[in-house]
C-alpha cells in the first residue's frame, strides 16, 4: 500500500518539488519514471499517460503560483491554486481507498486514508479548497482545479482495469473449480453455476439459471434439504454441511457432499446463498461394496461354524438311522419312519453343504479343465430342468483358456444360476450361457487385474432392483413365496466362486433381464480341445448300467486293525459300531495324544482320523505315526475346507479322504 499511497499523492510532491527545483527538471524526472513503468508493464499504458498529464498540470499550477507570488499577485489566487492541488490529493486518494475496498476486499484503514497524518492534511486541504474556492469566485486562474476531474477519470480507468483483472481471475477460478458451485437468491432461484455443476447434474447452464434446486433433489432428501435451506435464507444459520442425493437430467442419482453458506450484505442481512457439491457417488459405491463384502464375510464365518457342527450331528443321525434300518423289518411302520428320518437327514446334509459352500469352507477338488466342457456336460440335464417355455442357448468361445477349479462345484454354480434365471421368467423367455476370455485392467475397482475366463448366464426375466442387488448373495434371502426356495442358491454360487479365487459380477435392469458373470483366473497348462460328442452328459451317465457290486472284503482285510481318532464321542461310537459289524478290529482315541499312546503299544494297520481336532491335528498325527510305520494306511475325515487341499493328487501315497457328513 505504501507504493500506491505515494503514487496517488504524487501531485502534492510535484508542487513541493517545483517550489524548490526547476520545473523542467521535475517534469523530466516524472516522464522518465513513467517510461520505466511502461517498459516494466506494471500498469496499463493509458494509466501512465493519465499520471503524466496530471502531474504536468500540477507542476504548471505550482509554477504559475510561484510566478504569481513573485509578482505579488492577489493572495486569493495563490491560495486557490494551492487548494486546488490539495483537493486533487484528497479526492484522488479517497476514490482509491473506496475502489480498493470494493474491488479487493481491503478495509478503509488498510488503504492508508485514515492514517493520522494523512487524515489531518486532507481535512485541512479540503477545508481550504472549499473556503478559498468560494472566495476566489470563479477566478480564471483556478483552471488547475481541473486536475481533480482528470484524476477521477484516471482513477476510474485504473480501477476498472484492476477490477476487470480481479473479476477474470475469480471467473477462471470459479469455472475451473472441480467442485460444483451454484449461487442462489434467497427465493431459491439459481443465478450462477459453474461448469462442474453442469457436468454433475447433466444440465446446460441455461437450463439451470432461474430454476429452483428443489426439482433436482432426491425425493427422499427433499424435506430435510428444504428445511435447512429455509434456515439459511432466514439467517438462523450461516452454513450447513451434509450428504445429499440429487437426480441428474438422465434420471441417475448422484451422491454429493453438500456445503451451503449464506452471504450477507453490508447491513448483515441475507443476500444470496452459495452451494458447493462434491461428487462422492463412486466413493459411496465402493464403501457399500466393502460393507457388503464384510457383511457376507461375517455371515460366512457364522454359517461355516454352524455347518461344521451340523455335519458332525448329521453324521451321527444318518449313521445310526442306517444301522436301525438294517434291523427294522421292511414294510413295517418302524422301517417307514426310519426311512423318513434318513430322507430328512439327506436334505439337511444338502443344506449344510450349501452353507459350507457359501462360507467357502467346503472341500474342493480342483483340476485343470476347460469351462466349455463343464457347460456341455450339464447342458442336456438343464433343458428339462428349465421347462419348455424357456429357450436355452449356448455361446462358447472355442479358444477358451484353461482354468483350475472343481468341476463338480462349477456344475453346481451353473445349475443354480440357470434355475435362478428360470424363476425370474414365470411367463417364459430365454437363457443364454456364454464363455469367453477376458482381460481385466487396473481401472476396475471390483476385480483384480489379470487374465480371466468368464462364464455368463443371461436371462430376459423381470430384472433386479438396486436394493435387492445388495442382498441377493446373502444366505436365506429370497424374493420367492414361502416354501418355494431356500435362499441358498445364489449364496452357494457366491461361496464357490470366491473359494475358487474368482469374482461374481451382476448386471440387471428391471423389466429387461439380468446377467451373472463369473470371473475365474486363467491357468497355465494345456487342456485337450472340447468336442461336444466326446463328452457324455450327466443324464446318460446316470442312465448307464449299474456296475456289479464289489466282492466282500477278504478275511485278511476284515481282520485289519483300525485306529479311529475323533473328538466327537457320538461319531466315534458310530464308526466303532459300523467297523466292528464289518469284522474290523477297532481302537478308539479322542485326540492325537491318546492315539500316539495306543499306536506305541500295539500294531495299527489303518488310521481313520478327523482332520480338525483340539491339540494334534489329523495331518500331524498321520505324519507322527508314519515315522514308526511308513506303510500305514490313512483315511482322513473332514467337512471343512480349512483343512487344505484334499484332492487325490494332493494327498500322499496310501492316503484317502472321506467327506462329512458320513451317512
pLDDT digits (tens, 9 = 90+) for 190-215: 888 888 888 888 888 888 888 777 76
pLDDT of residue 346: 80
What confidence tier does 133 reach under pLDDT thresholds 50, 70, 90? Answer: very low
> Could you count the other beta carbons within 10 Å of the beta carbon of residue 334?
13
In a shared domain, residues 527 and 573: no
Q: Is 90 exceeded by the pLDDT of residue 452?
A: yes
- Please indicate, yes or no, if residue 651 is contained in any of the structural domains: yes
Domain boundary pick from 140, 168, 196: 168
Q: What is the rounded distance in angstroms from the CA atom of residue 494 to the CA atom of residue 474?
A: 9
In a shared domain, residues 71 and 124: yes
In a shared domain, residues 570 and 608: yes
Taking the alpha carbons at both ends of the chain, their separation in whole angstroms is 95
- Please indicate, yes or no, if residue 508 is contained in any of the structural domains: yes
pLDDT of residue 458: 94
Beta bridge partners of 151: none
Of 170, 167, 151, 6, give the one whose Cα is nearest residue 85. 151
Backbone region of residue 251 per phi and psi (left: phi > 0; alpha: psi in -120 to 50; beta: other values):
left
In a shared domain, residues 160 and 183: no
Instruction: Say what percent of the chain tops pLDDT 90.
Output: 11
Residues 356, 412 contacting (CB under 8 angstroms): no
In a shared domain, residues 562 and 429: no
Residue 545, CB-side half-sphere exposure with 13 Å CA sphere: 3
Residue 200 sits in a domain whose CATH number is 3.30.450.20
| Integer-rounded Cα radius of gyration of the chain | 46
Backbone region of residue 12 per phi and psi (left: phi > 0; alpha: psi in -120 to 50; beta: other values):
alpha
- Please indicate, yes or no, if residue 302 is contained in any of the structural domains: no
Is residue 501 packed enough to be buried (19+ CB in 10 Å), middle (13-18) or exposed (0-12)? middle
- Please indicate, yes or no, if residue 325 is contained in any of the structural domains: no
Q: Is 80 exceeded by the pLDDT of residue 537?
A: no
Domain boundary pick from 279, 298, 314: 279
In a shared domain, residues 504 and 606: no
- Please indicate, yes or no, if residue 342 is contained in any of the structural domains: no
pLDDT of residue 82: 53
In a shared domain, residues 380 and 475: yes
Residue 560 sits in a domain whose CATH number is 3.40.50.2300
Between 188 and 79, name the one with better pLDDT.
Answer: 188
Boundaries of domain holding 574: 555-659
What φ, ψ does residue 579 adopt, rounded to 5°?
A: -70, -40
In a shared domain, residues 499 and 386: yes
Residue with cell 474491488: 103
- Please indicate, yes or no, if residue 134 is contained in any of the structural domains: yes
Domain boundary pick from 220, 245, 279: 279
| CA quadruple 636, 640, 643, 646: dihedral sign | positive
In a shared domain, residues 519 and 638: no
- Please indicate, yes or no, if residue 324 is contained in any of the structural domains: no
pLDDT of residue 528: 58
Amino acid at each position: 500500500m505504501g507504493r500506491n499511497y505515494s503514487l496517488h499523492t504524487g501531485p502534492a510532491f510535484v508542487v513541493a518539488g517545483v517550489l524548490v527545483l526547476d520545473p523542467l527538471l521535475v517534469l523530466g524526472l516524472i516522464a522518465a519514471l513513467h517510461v520505466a513503468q511502461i517498459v516494466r508493464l506494471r500498469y496499463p499504458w493509458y494509466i501512465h499517460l493519465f499520471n503524466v498529464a496530471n502531474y504536468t498540470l500540477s507542476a504548471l499550477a505550482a509554477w504559475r503560483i510561484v510566478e504569481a507570488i513573485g509578482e505579488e499577485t492577489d493572495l486569493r489566487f495563490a491560495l486557490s491554486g494551492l487548494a486546488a492541488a490539495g483537493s486533487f490529493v484528497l479526492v484522488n486518494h479517497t476514490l482509491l481507498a473506496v475502489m480498493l475496498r470494493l474491488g479487493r476486499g481491503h478495509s478503509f484503514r488498510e488503504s492508508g486514508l485514515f492514517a493520522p497524518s494523512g487524515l489531518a492534511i486532507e481535512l485541512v486541504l479540503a477545508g481550504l479548497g472549499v473556503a478559498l474556492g468560494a472566495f476566489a469566485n470563479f477566478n480564471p486562474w483556478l483552471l488547475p482545479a481541473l486536475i481533480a476531474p482528470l484524476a477521477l477519470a484516471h482513477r476510474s480507468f485504473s480501477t476498472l482495469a484492476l477490477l476487470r483483472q480481479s473479476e477474470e481471475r475469480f471467473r477462471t477460478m470459479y469455472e475451473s473449480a472441480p467442485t460444483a458451485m451454484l449461487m442462489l437468491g434467497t427465493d431459491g432461484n439459481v443465478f450462477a453455476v459453474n461448469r462442474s455443476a453442469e457436468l454433475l447434474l447433466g444440465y446446460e447452464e441455461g437450463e439451470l439459471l432461474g430454476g429452483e434446486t428443489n426439482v433436482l433433489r432426491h425425493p427422499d432428501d427433499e424435506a430435510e434439504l428444504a428445511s435447512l435451506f429455509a434456515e439459511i435464507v432466514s439467517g438462523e444459520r450461516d452454513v450447513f454441511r451434509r450428504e445429499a442425493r440429487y437426480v441428474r437430467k438422465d434420471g441417475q442419482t448422484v451422491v454429493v457432499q453438500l456445503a451451503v453458506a449464506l452471504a450477507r450484505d453490508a447491513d448483515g442481512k441475507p443476500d444470496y446463498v452459495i452451494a458447493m457439491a462434491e461428487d462422492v457417488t463412486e466413493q459411496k459405491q465402493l464403501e457399500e461394496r466393502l460393507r457388503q463384502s464384510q457383511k457376507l464375510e461375517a455371515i460366512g464365518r457364522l454359517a461355516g461354524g454352524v455347518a461344521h457342527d451340523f455335519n458332525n450331528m448329521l453324521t451321527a443321525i444318518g449313521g445310526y438311522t442306517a444301522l436301525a434300518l438294517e434291523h427294522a423289518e421292511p414294510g413295517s411302520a418302524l422301517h417307514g419312519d426310519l426311512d423318513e428320518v434318513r430322507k430328512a437327514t439327506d436334505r439337511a446334509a444338502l443344506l449344510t453343504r450349501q452353507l459350507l459352500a457359501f462360507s467357502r469352507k467346503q472341500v474342493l477338488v480342483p483340476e485343470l479343465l476347460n469351462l466349455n466342457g463343464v457347460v456341455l456336460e450339464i447342458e442336456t440335464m438343464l433343458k428339462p430342468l428349465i421347462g419348455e417355455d424357456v429357450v436355452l442357448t449356448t455361446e462358447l468361445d472355442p479358444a477358451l483358456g484353461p482354468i483350475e477349479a472343481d468341476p463338480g462345484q462349477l456344475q453346481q454354480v451353473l445349475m443354480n444360476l440357470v434355475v435362478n434365471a428360470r424363476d425370474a421368467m414365470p411367463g417364459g423367455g430365454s437363457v443364454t450361457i456364454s464363455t469367453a476370455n477376458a482381460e481385466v485392467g487396473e481401472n476396475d475397482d471390483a476385480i483384480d487385474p489379470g487374465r480371466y475366463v468368464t462364464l455368463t448366464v443371461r436371462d430376459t426375466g423381470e430384472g433386479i432392483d438396486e436394493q435387492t442387488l445388495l442382498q441377493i448373495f446373502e444366505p436365506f434371502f429370497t424374493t420367492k413365496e414361502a416354501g418355494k426356495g431356500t435362499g441358498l442358491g445364489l449364496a452357494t454360487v457366491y461361496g464357490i466362486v470366491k473359494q475358487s479365487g474368482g469374482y461374481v459380477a451382476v448386471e440387471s435392469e428391471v423389466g429387461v433381464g439380468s446377467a451373472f458373470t463369473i470371473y475365474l483366473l486363467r491357468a497355465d497348462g494345456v487342456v485337450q480341445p472340447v468336442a461336444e460328442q466326446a463328452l457324455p452328459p450327466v443324464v446318460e451317465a446316470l442312465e448307464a448300467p449299474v456296475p456289479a457290486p464289489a466282492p466282500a472284503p477278504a478275511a485278511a482285510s476284515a481282520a485289519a486293525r483300525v485306529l479311529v481318532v475323533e473328538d466327537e464321542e457320538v461319531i466315534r461310537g458310530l464308526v466303532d459300531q459300523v467297523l466292528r459289524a464289518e469284522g474290523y478290529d477297532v481302537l478308539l482315541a479322542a485326540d492325537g495324544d491318546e492315539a500316539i499312546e495306543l499306536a506305541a503299544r500295539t500294531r495299527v494297520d489303518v488310521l481313520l482320523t478327523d482332520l480338525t481336532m483340539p491339540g494334534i491335528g489329523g495331518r500331524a498325527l498321520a505324519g507322527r505315526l508314519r515315522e514308526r510305520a511308513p506303510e500305514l494306511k490313512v483315511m482322513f475325515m473332514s467337512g471343512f475346507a480349512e483343512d487344505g487341499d484334499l484332492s487325490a493328487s494332493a494327498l500322499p501315497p496310501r492316503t484317502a479322504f472321506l467327506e462329512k457328513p458320513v451317512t
